[in-house]
Copies of this chain bind each other. A is one copy, B any other.
């Protein structure tokens, strides 16, 4: 398979100062293997755009432990106490965006839409300073598209071309994230033959995907992704 890379090879493309777009809702649909490989890579001062920052020491939370983050852009960071602490200590910038605006801005970034007027957030602190306009007598706020240098996504399966199949609500932000990065790295649990995923079930067409990395660090047990003993590495 042409696009297949090890996590290390793929992650090397990330440079200090990059904006990373990362799929996942908490740890669900989070590219855990890619994130782990990133903690072993020397890129620093990263901006991560993702709904959350995982949990303490898990998922994107590991990038706080490894001190590779400059800024987090997303909708909900309160549940990761490391993020709250890092922010309080001025070690982490945080930009809070309503969850639907985050999803729509990522979609816009991948869809050639520069900005759009939404109702969400009108009248709140989160849109202070942003342009407002009325349409049909209702107030809207102008929100900008989000793009990044590298996208990290997680799917259940890829086919040999790189088409992705997402699993249930682990899909979440992944399809949008996959459209909005200059380089898109997809972590999957399984690679299947081209044609094995039905045309209507392809969540991300292969043309969005640059590299596919096989998850070889986490196995699913009791419905949860459990880190394997990595001693063999």
Interface residues of A, Cβ cutoff 8 Å to B: 104, 108, 111-120, 133, 135-136, 138, 140, 144-145, 166, 168, 199-201, 203
Contacts and interface: CB of A to CB of B under 8 A. Distances in A.
A133 B113 CA distance: 12
26 contacts: A104-B111, A104-B113, A108-B116, A112-B118, A112-B119, A112-B120, A113-B116, A113-B117, A113-B118, A114-B117, A114-B118, A114-B135, A114-B136, A114-B138, A114-B140, A115-B116, A115-B117, A115-B135, A115-B140, A116-B116, A116-B117, A135-B145, A166-B200, A200-B200, A200-B203, A201-B201
A57 to B, nearest CB: 32
Secondary structure at chain A's binding surface: helix, strand, loop or mixed?
mixed
A203 B136 CA distance: 30
A135 to B, nearest CB: 4
A168 to B, nearest CB: 8
A200 B113 CA distance: 26
Contacts of A116: 108, 113, 115-117
A21 to B, nearest CB: 17
A168 B200 CA distance: 8
Nearest to A202: B200
A174 to B, nearest CB: 13
Given A114-B138, A168-B199, 12 more contacts: A108-B116, A112-B120, A114-B133, A114-B135, A114-B136, A114-B140, A115-B135, A116-B116, A135-B144, A166-B200, A200-B200, A200-B203
